[in-house]
Chain A
Amino acid sequence: MRVLVGVKRVVDYAVKVRVAADKKAVDLSNVKMSMNPFCEIAVEEAVRLKESKAATEVVAVSIGPKQAQETIRTALAMGADRGIHVQTDLRTDQELDSKAVASILSKICADESPDCVILGKQSIDGDFGCTGSMLASLMSVPQCTFAANIDFEKKTVERETDAGTEVVAFPSLPAVFTADLRLNEPRYATLPNIMKAKKKKIATLSASDLGVDLSSGNEVLEVFEPPDREAGVFVETVDELVGKLKDEAGVI
């Protein structure tokens, strides 16, 4: 089974982002970038499939500038076999939208014919959470999103929902899975694997050569920081609390 994994280069989760002066985007200058945490979980799942012999090859794909290759290298150091870098200078945090990404990945999948695609459930910059579903739709294959556990033998997926987990069955492969937080705990890249990653191949393509519509369906009007959290209010009695919840907050 060939597994294709998407790995996105995003602002590191620990960075305190700042809005750019023109309020049109996040300021990315000199900011630490890393692999999207949910993509790490996706890679880990794929590598485990290879270790259990369920998969024969893991291919890591990333879309972005030249530095996206570093993200692919991290996937290779975790155990992926080879990488595909789709080069674009469009900002992957806002100029390239989910539809464009899904279209690019769909083209890649047409060439690579993976049996299974694992993506992160969402990226921590865009947080759209749409790419997986859109890709499944373009490929006309089943989608199993927010996966907390995937059983390839039984062909079932345990999905996270707001009310808890539910188990769904997928009829066949190929299918698209999106990884949720509890799917697994990603490994640290070991030194020997970091060294081995050097020899693994990364193919480079240009996004504009793929014959895919890269235009965004969204237009960013403004990027701003959330309002500062206001101090709370102390109440004396339960009645006062209920009164405030009803009359002021309007939540009951």
Chain B
Amino acid sequence: RMPEGKKLNKKMLSRLISRVPRAAQTARSGLRAYTTHEQLPDEHQMIYEMCRKFADEELAPNAGEWDKKHEYPAAAVSQLGQLGLMGISVEDKWGGAGLDYLAYAIAMEEVSRGCASTGVIMSVQNSLYGGPVDKFGTDAQKEEFLIPYTTGDKIGCFGLSEPGNGSDAGAASTTAVSDGDNFILNGTKAWITNAHDASTAIVFATTDKDLKHKGISAFIVPTDSPGFSLGAKEDKLGICASSTGNLIMEDVSVPASNMLGEPGMGFKIAMMTLDAGRIGIAGQALGIASASIDCAANYALERKAFGAPISKLQMIQDKLAKMALARDSARLLTWRAAMLKDSGKSYTKEAAMAKLAASEAATMCAHQAIQVLGGMGYVSDMPAERHYRDARITEIYEGTSEVQHLVIAGNLLKEYQ
């Protein structure tokens, strides 16, 4: 704020400039920012091309069937592991590919473009499970709970949401009581992706409800622990090939050495993990948006009405333009968030913006793709209806759009204070 009556001088100007959002400082620190696939460095280009090819050849031809049968794509998931896509940003020594989040975001978009269910399985494994174990795990924990997961041999899941609280993550009611050597966990987690295929779950439980969110700790819980069971597989609108269900813990005992990070650090771990997860989900949403655009554009060029392909009609062109604009904008936001994370900078606001923009782009593009296809968009002969159903969840999980708005506003306002 400028003191009244004073004219703008050099000192005040520099103080104002220091309030410029950190993203603009990227250029000065010498960081190159990539905005198109052609600008990407060699490895990222190769990863983009490999994932695209893999998605075209192995995922897209089967996605419809997996969706219809609600069939877990085991063979595809195994291939993801072999390709190194299940531990993209984990260090080589823990079995990962040692790449960055930009590579991950690009890979997520291409894989999801082929099959959104396979995409979410990959995202949960990389960001929600692998992320916290990699960042907060001890070497012993990484040995047991990271290495077999980066290869895709085993699947992990993230247990934060409960029947009583989704957005209200701080109100966790799953409890963890210490008996000296072990923690006894009781409670239920809801809406857990990969629930029915996971060997290990990261479970957030409170050791002291009075401390509210500061009493929450993170635990590594093998799913074959006595007392651990799964609720029925949810019958979802979309991403039907991935399993979603409740994790039920009745006096599940885990050794104290299975606590991830420090006591009371759970909420912070969850929030930091979700920041990264949002880039993954933004990638998934971009894939769904891109698949929708591909479907609509190809159809419009073939389908004739009024004597010409419908791609000649302005109302169709208007839709395609809006779809491309939404998708490209969201992609730039996603790459920005990834590049900020990769350079070690704060990226919470940017990741929220990316996820919000990409998920809204996915639902809009899928919606309009059906519209472009007309009646053909409403039947399962074309993938548009599957994209429509797959897109919807991206505005809900890993932070509803409403929560993303709060995160963005909160971080924005901090810059003015």
Residues of A within 8 A of B84 (CB): 190-192
Residues of B within 8 A of A195 (CB): 43, 92, 97-99
- CA gap between A197 and B103 in the complex, in Å: 16
Name the CB-closest residue of B to A73: B42
Q: Quick check: A73 and B46 within 8 Å, CB to CB?
A: yes
Q: Quick check: A191 and B42 within 8 Å, CB to CB?
A: no
Residues of B within 8 A of A192 (CB): 84, 92, 97-98
- CA gap between A74 and B47 in the complex, in Å: 10
Say whether B54 faces chain A, with CB atoms less than 8 Å apart: yes
Minimum C-beta distance from B77 to chain A (A): 15
Name the CB-closest residue of A to B99: A191
Q: Which of B75-101 contact A (CB under 8 A)?
A: 79, 82-85, 88, 92, 97-99
Say whether A70 faces chain B, with CB atoms less than 8 Å apart: yes
Name the CB-closest residue of B to A74: B46
- CA gap between A190 and B46 in the complex, in Å: 10
Q: Which of B98-121 contact A (CB under 8 A)?
A: 98-99, 103
| Residue from B46, B54, B99 whose CB has the most chain A CB atoms within 10 Å | B46
| A195-B97, A195-B98, A195-B99 known; A190-B83 Cβ under 8 A | yes
Q: Quick check: A189 and B92 within 8 Å, CB to CB?
A: no
Minimum C-beta distance from A195 to chain B (A): 6
- CA gap between A194 and B53 in the complex, in Å: 15
Cβ contacts B34-67/A at 8 Å (1 or 0 each)? 0000000011011101100110000000000000
Say whether A66 faces chain B, with CB atoms less than 8 Å apart: no
- CA gap between A195 and B46 in the complex, in Å: 10
Q: Quick check: A191 and B53 within 8 Å, CB to CB?
A: no
Residues of B within 8 A of A188 (CB): 50, 53-54, 79, 83
Name the CB-closest residue of A to B88: A191
Q: Quick check: A191 and B45 within 8 Å, CB to CB?
A: no
| A73-B42, A188-B53, A188-B83 known; A194-B47 Cβ under 8 A | yes
Minimum C-beta distance from B396 to chain A (A): 30
Say whether A77 faces chain B, with CB atoms less than 8 Å apart: yes
Say whether A198 faces chain B, with CB atoms less than 8 Å apart: yes
* Selected contact of B97 from candidates A34, A77, A191, CB within 8 Å: A191
Minimum C-beta distance from A33 to chain B (A): 11
Minimum C-beta distance from B85 to chain A (A): 6
Residues of B within 8 A of A73 (CB): 42, 46
- CA gap between A190 and B49 in the complex, in Å: 11
- CA gap between A188 and B42 in the complex, in Å: 16
Residues of B within 8 A of A34 (CB): 49
Q: Quick check: B82 and A194 within 8 Å, CB to CB?
A: no
| A188-B54, A190-B84, A191-B83 known; A198-B43 Cβ under 8 A | yes
| A195-B98, A195-B99 known; A189-B50 Cβ under 8 A | yes
Residues of A within 8 A of B98 (CB): 192, 195
* Selected contact of A194 from candidates B43, B54, B92, CB within 8 Å: B43
- CA gap between A34 and B45 in the complex, in Å: 12
- CA gap between A34 and B49 in the complex, in Å: 9
Residues of A within 8 A of B88 (CB): 191
Cβ contacts A172-210/B at 8 Å (1 or 0 each)? 000000000000000011111011011000000000000
Minimum C-beta distance from A68 to chain B (A): 13
- CA gap between A2 and B231 in the complex, in Å: 57
- CA gap between A99 and B180 in the complex, in Å: 79
Minimum C-beta distance from B414 to chain A (A): 36
Q: Quick check: A189 and B97 within 8 Å, CB to CB?
A: no
Q: Which of A185-237 contact B (CB under 8 A)?
A: 188-192, 194-195, 197-198
- CA gap between A189 and B45 in the complex, in Å: 12
Minimum C-beta distance from A51 to chain B (A): 14
- CA gap between A195 and B83 in the complex, in Å: 12
Minimum C-beta distance from B304 to chain A (A): 15
Cβ contacts A45-76/B at 8 Å (1 or 0 each)? 00000000000000000000000001001100
Q: Quick check: B47 and A191 within 8 Å, CB to CB?
A: yes
Q: Which of B103-162 contact A (CB under 8 A)?
A: 103
Minimum C-beta distance from B40 to chain A (A): 11
Residues of B within 8 A of A74 (CB): 46, 49
Name the CB-closest residue of B to A194: B46
Q: Quick check: B46 and A77 within 8 Å, CB to CB?
A: yes
Minimum C-beta distance from A219 to chain B (A): 34
Minimum C-beta distance from B55 to chain A (A): 10
- CA gap between A77 and B42 in the complex, in Å: 11
Residues of B within 8 A of A189 (CB): 46, 50
18 more CB-based (< 8 A) A-B contacts, given A189-B50, A191-B85 = A34-B49, A70-B42, A73-B46, A74-B49, A77-B46, A188-B83, A191-B47, A191-B84, A191-B88, A191-B97, A191-B99, A191-B103, A192-B84, A192-B92, A194-B50, A195-B43, A195-B92, A198-B42
21 contacts between A and B (CB under 8 A): A34-B49, A73-B42, A73-B46, A77-B46, A188-B53, A188-B83, A189-B46, A189-B50, A190-B84, A191-B84, A192-B84, A192-B98, A194-B43, A194-B46, A194-B47, A194-B50, A195-B43, A195-B92, A195-B98, A197-B46, A198-B42
